[in-house]
Amino acid sequence: MIDQPIVIGLGELLWDCFQDSRRPGGAPANVAYQANQLGCEGVVCSRIGQDALGEELAAFLESQGISTRTLQFDSEHATGTVTVEMKEGNHPEYTIHEDVAWDAMEFTPDWQKVMQSAAAVCFGSLAQRHEPSHHTIHQCLDTTGKDCLIVYDVNLRQDFYSRDILEESLKACRVVKLNHEELSVIGSLLEISDADEQQFARDLQSRYGVEMIVLTRGENGCLLLSEDDVVDVPGQKIEVADAVGAGDAFTAGLISALLKDWPLRTAGQFANSVGAMVASRSGAMPDLKSEYSELIDQFQPS
């Protein structure tokens, strides 16, 4: 049996609390979950409380075939929660509660070991909002192997970001993914013109040494720029159930395709399809293993 590449989601694991339900979430955890469904070994490196909500999250991951060996349990901080309100077009608005377990992540020998064996690590801005987890995340990234695909999914939330966090993260990654709404915010923070998407991406590449820039545009597709290629992929018309986790699914699809060395256009089209599939379902972690298997067969280069 071929070993599955280890794809780590490094950062927040939490409950998305809707008006009538709650569902597992957290952007890096969503990426690991979707990567696991896509045939990789998804690993969640996060911290949850020693409480009922934490136990329920751990049990959910185990039920989905995701190991909990890299979960940290905190006796002082509660499991993270986010209040989600659905706005026009079924787009979510988040209220992210503070002083929770994933704000206090620690760099441990177990985390060092799994980072050294990772094929890819995905991290974001949010879990860097407090210094303990910020420091831990960059310790983890410094530990990865030289061929590890480090992906920074910018994922700006509320006011939990700064120029320093953006710049340090951009310097640490090989691939950066952002959405069209974040373009102007990042441009303003970093003093880079966002008037032209491609020029913006090239400026990011030259300033921070990023190998690939990925800009997602929702129903309008995505733009991918590597060091020597530009790919503009059109969107897909779907009926959106809710957009929670769709961007994270896109990221997982992209990582999966890049680890397979698929052509850039194929990788973008595949990631778009994975993201659209999740947007057409409720919640960030729907069960889509069989659908993904068919999708992989469809996109697998001959």
Task: Kindly report, residue by residue over 208-234, the tens digit of the pLDDT.
Answer: 999 999 999 877 889 999 988 999 998
What distances in angstroms separate CA 221 from CA 147, 184, 215, 248, one per listed residue? 28, 18, 9, 15
pTM: 0.93
Q: Kindly list the strands in the beta sheet with 91-96, ordered across the sheet, starting from the edge strand earlier in the chain.
A: 22-25, 14-17, 80-87, 91-96
Say if 294 falls within a structural domain: no
Say if 289 falls within a structural domain: no
Total of domains in the chain: 1
How far apart, in whole angstroms, are the C-alpha atoms of residue 37 and residue 136? Answer: 27
Q: What angle do CA 73, 95, 249 make, to 5 degrees?
A: 70
The answer to whether the CB of 149 falls within 8 A of the CB of 259 is yes
Say if 300 falls within a structural domain: no
Task: Note the pLDDT tens digit of each residue in 126-145.
Answer: 999 999 999 999 999 999 99
The predicted structure's pLDDT at residue 162: 95
Task: Note the pLDDT tens digit of each residue in 70-109.
Answer: 999 999 999 999 998 877 656 678 899 999 999 999 999 9
The answer to whether the CB of 251 falls within 8 A of the CB of 277 is no
The answer to whether the CB of 157 falls within 8 A of the CB of 187 is no
Say if 138 falls within a structural domain: yes
AA letter at 279: A
How far apart, in whole angstroms, are the C-alpha atoms of residue 34 and residue 286? Answer: 9
The predicted structure's pLDDT at residue 288: 83
Task: DSSP for 20-85, please give it.
Answer: S-EEEE-HHHHHHHHHHHTTSEEEEEEEEESSHHHHHHHHHHHHTT---TTEEEESSSBPEEEEEE
Say if 302 falls within a structural domain: no
Number of continuous H segments (helices) and E segments (strands) in the chain: 10, 13
The predicted structure's pLDDT at residue 294: 92
Q: Bridge-partner residues for 263, per DSSP?
A: none
Task: Note the pLDDT tens digit of each residue in 136-195.
Answer: 999 999 999 999 999 999 999 889 999 999 999 999 999 999 998 899 999 999 999 988
Residue 266 belongs to domain spanning = 6-284
Res 44 pLDDT > 70: yes
Say if 1 falls within a structural domain: no
Q: Bridge-partner residues for 44, per DSSP?
A: 9
Task: Note the pLDDT tens digit of each residue in 98-128.
Answer: 999 999 999 999 999 999 999 999 999 999 9
Map residue 1 onto helix, strand or coil: coil
The predicted structure's pLDDT at residue 1: 39
CATH number of the domain that residue 104 is part of:
3.40.1190.20
